Amino acid sequence: MKRLVPIGLVWLLAVSFPVAGVVDEIRSGAVPTSAGWLVFVLAFVSVGALIVSRRPRHPIGWILLTSGVGLVLTGVSGTYAAEQLARPDADRLDLMVGWFSTWAWLPIWVVPTFGLLLFPTGRLPSRRWRPVVWLAVGGFLAAFVTAAFAPGPMQGLAGDNPLGVDVGVDLWNPLRAGGTAALLMAIAGSIVSLVVRYRGARTVERQQIKWLMYAGTFVAAGLCALVVLTITGGPATAPYEELITSVALATVPVATGIAILRHRLFDIDVVVNRTLVYGGLTVSLGAAYVGSVLLLQLVLRPLTVDSGLAVAVSTLAVAALFRPVRSRIQAGVDRRFFRRKYDAARTLEAFGVRLRHELDLEALGTDLRNVVHDTMQPAHVTLWLRDRNDSRTPGP
């Protein structure tokens, strides 16, 4: 209970700042561009606090919580410093707040490096992954040193770095490039370690990693949607681009929390199945609807100038296609991604056909044992049949 009080206070303080930003934008009548920041911070801080409260020795919870708090401190200090440094009477305290905001965001690098390396057990897969750890530490230290002590103007702020050190040679640019390269290589190594861990994992750990992989597909889909929106939408879609990115990245801590706390852990196969089916169904029916509307507008243009008839006919056609298209997509998903389930269904279907025509009881028992072995894959199968002549068994 004593541990929950400070964690709750940290959560409340961290969430209050982005909430206040969203409320202020709504009151002023502007588009709430801080909504993406709120979603991102809420996911990291909430899941991190939950894991820390339940499993305080697990490092993933502290990584998520620290990253979320760091993002809040970066946003608050950066906004304050930008406003104060724009004034002519800015003092050294304002410069120090701006200096803090230039590197306070760096803990977010811990998530794709140590977060992946330690997921889901909180330990490295083996000692051979220690070089990746040192690569991540070296890259993080290089990024911190260049952000905190490189001389010159602070990024995004009207002021020079108050703690900048001029060494007389161009040291900072190579150090910044080397740190970024080390962090990227550490991220790549962390992803490889997760793949290796998955291949050697048992049932529970494999399900945990599946949840994180599922969140990774959302991040990839969000980045693809962001690219498409940036190319086709223009500057007017900038607030929505930030929201899409934040929501996609927020799925990572949510999936991490489900995996580590093992909440409905074995539902991941059902979730993936439904996502593939209904995602494919939405894309297919959406494309069919748009295509049919455009086609019917061309066909019906000589008869009517209103497109309402084309929309109505297209809606009815899509509604009629819902069930058959869903069945086909479900069969395709099961055949491609859930082969065991697909093979089991076909085996049971074939056994049902044979059952209607089989008369030999011994052959039927052998067939039944084979079906159970093929579908359930048990270690041992025993079939017990009641003897109708057994006097101990009541009934005819």
pLDDT of residue 31: 63
Pick the CATH number of 4-263 from 3.40.50, 1.20.1070, 3.40.190, 2.60.40: 1.20.1070
Which of the 8 DSSP states describes residue 154? P
- Alpha carbon 64 to chain centroid, angstroms: 14
Structure tokens at 369: 């044992």
Domain ranges of the chain: 4-263, 279-337
pLDDT higher at 161 or 394 = 161
Which of the 8 DSSP states describes residue 169? S
| Mean pLDDT computed over 186-202 | 90
Residue 384 zone, left/alpha/beta (φ > 0; ψ -120 to 50; rest):
beta
Ordered alpha helix ranges (H), the chain? 4-27, 35-54, 59-85, 92-101, 110, 116-118, 130-149, 172-199, 203-233, 238-261, 268-300, 308-337, 339-355, 361-376
CA–CA distance, 358 with 377 (Å, rounded to integer) = 24
393 — pLDDT class (breaks 50, 70, 90)? very low
| Mean pLDDT computed over 67-95 | 86
pLDDT of residue 214: 86
Tell me: pLDDT of 216 over 50. Answer: yes
pLDDT of residue 380: 64
pLDDT of residue 182: 94
Give the number of other CB atoms < 10 A from CB of residue 376: 9
pLDDT, one tens digit per residue, over 222-233 is 888 787 777 776
Pick the range with the lowest mean pLDDT from 15-24, 116-125, 209-218: 15-24
Structure tokens at 360: 């030999």
Rounded to the nearest integer, the mean pLDDT of the chain is 78
Q: Which of 150-154, 174-178, 304-308 has the highest mean pLDDT?
A: 174-178
pLDDT, one tens digit per residue, over 269-326 is 677 667 666 666 677 777 776 777 667 666 656 555 555 656 666 676 767 766 777 7
pLDDT of residue 345: 59
